[in-house]
Amino acid sequence: MKHFFIYLVLPFVLLTTSCEEYEYKKPLTPVCKSYIDTNLLGLWIFDGYETFNNFNLQIDSHLLLILPFNKHEYVVLFKNEKKQSNDLPLLIKGHIGKIGNHFFANVRWLSDNNDNPFIYYAFKVQNDSLYYWGYVKNKIPYQFNAKKFFTKHYSDTAYISTIRKYKRFKGNFLFTNNKNE
């Protein structure tokens, strides 16, 4: 029964929550224009969130491990930090793009068929903090120019779902006990 929860229920909860955020079958920016920003790489510890538009997001403490996948893409491991949690990390693949002065991550759940839609997350790194946010699906017009819309409403809380905040892990995460030094 425990394995049922880990492999079926937990991913369902995460996917249905993310499904409330805008997603599309094509990326917002092309993979070929993406690059690996070493400032994003490493281990990030969840540090809270702020929700807008009655967005229903419940997040437990977790870690993000961001690694290069190739010259243009990243792989992200999402791991629940609860001590009793034996579940495997969720894998996410993505790439970054810049529109004007704004940065966006184009991410999708990693799977065998690669047919999962892209979720567009605006993001910024300030000092040793990573912030990223999605946009509420039912607030987005049905037909629109995505690049213009997301650039115009980059930080507009009328459209933002939740701003997630992470602190960079300072230390050798391979040989320590998940504590920020």
Q: Which residue has the higher pLDDT, 170 or 14?
A: 170
The mean pLDDT of 107-118, rounded to a whole number, is: 86
Query: Percent of the chain having pLDDT more than 90?
Result: 54
Q: What is the pLDDT of residue 86?
A: 63
Q: Which residue has the higher pLDDT, 8 or 110?
A: 110
The 10 Å Cβ neighbour count of residue 80 is 21
Helix H, strand E, coil C: the string for the chain is: CHHHHHHHHHHHHHHHHHCCECEECCCCCCHHHCCCCCCCCEEEEEEEEEECCCCCCCCCCEEEEEEECCCCCEEEEEEECCCCCCCCCEEEEEEEEEECCEEEEEEEECCCCCCCCEEEEEEEEECCEEEEEEEEHHHCCCCCCHHHHHHHCCCCCCCEEEEEEEEECCCCCCCCCCCCC
Q: What is the pLDDT of residue 12?
A: 39
- Are 61 and 21 spatial neighbours (Cβ–Cβ below 8 Å)? no
Distance CA 82, CA 59 (A): 12
Distance CA 180, CA 120 (A): 29
Could you state, in order of their start, the residue ranges of all structural domains in the chain?
2-168
Say yes or no to pLDDT of 2 above 60: no
Q: Which residue has the higher pLDDT, 13 or 58?
A: 58
Distance CA 178, CA 158 (A): 36
Averaged pLDDT score across all residues of the chain? 82
- 45: phi > 0 → left, psi -120 to 50 → alpha, else beta; which? beta
Encode pLDDT of 129-161 as tens digits: 999 999 999 888 888 899 999 999 999 999 988
Distance CA 75, CA 166 (A): 17
- Are 56 and 177 spatial neighbours (Cβ–Cβ below 8 Å)? no
Q: What is the pLDDT of residue 45?
A: 93
17 pLDDT band, cuts 50/70/90, is: very low
Say yes or no to pLDDT of 126 above 80: yes
The mean pLDDT of 174-179, rounded to a whole number, is: 48
Q: What is the pLDDT of residue 83?
A: 55
Second CATH level (architecture) for the domain 2-168: Beta Barrel (2.40)
Say yes or no to pLDDT of 35 above 90: yes
The mean pLDDT of 106-117, rounded to a whole number, is: 87
The mean pLDDT of 35-46, rounded to a whole number, is: 94
Encode pLDDT of 70-94 as tens digits: 999 999 998 887 655 566 778 999 9
